[in-house]
Structure 1
Amino acid sequence: MTGLHPQTEAVLQLMTAAYPDIGATVTDPAEARRLLARVKQPPAMPLPRVEDRTIPGASPLPVRIYWPRTQSAPHPVIVYFHGGGFVLGSLDTHDGFCRTLAAGVPAIVIAVDYRLAPEHPYPAAVEDARRALDWAHTNAHDLGGDPERLVLAGDSAGANLAAVTCLRVRDQGGPPIAFQLLVYPWLDFLSELPSRHENADGYYLTAAHLDWFQRQYLGNLATAAHPDISPLRAPRLRDLPPAMVLTAEYDPLRDEGEAYSARLAEAGVPTHLYRAEGLFHSFFAMTEFLPGGREAAENICATIRSAVVADPVH
Structure 2
Amino acid sequence: MTDAPSMIDWDLAVRLGSRFAGEGPDVSAAAADEAVRELRAGAERSTGLVREFTSLSAAEHTAPVLVVDRAGWIKANAETFEKILTPIVGRLTAKKGTPSGISAAIGSRITGAEVGVVLGFMGSKVLGQFDPFHDPHGRLLLVAPNVVHIERELEVDPTDFRLWVTLHEETHRVQFTAVPWMRDHLHAQMNALADSVEVGESLENGIKRIGESLRGGSGSLVDLMSTPEQRELIDGVTGVMSLLEGHADVVMDGVGPEVIPSVNAIRRKFNVRRKGIGPLDRVLRRVLGLEAKMAQYRDGAIFVRGVIAKVGMDGFNAVWESPENLPSKAEIGDHEAWVARVHA
When normalised by structure 2's length, the TM-score is 0.28
Please state which structure has a larger fraction of its residues in strand.
1
Please state which structure has a larger fraction of its residues in helix.
2
Mark the structure with the bigger radius of gyration: 2
When normalised by structure 1's length, the TM-score is 0.30
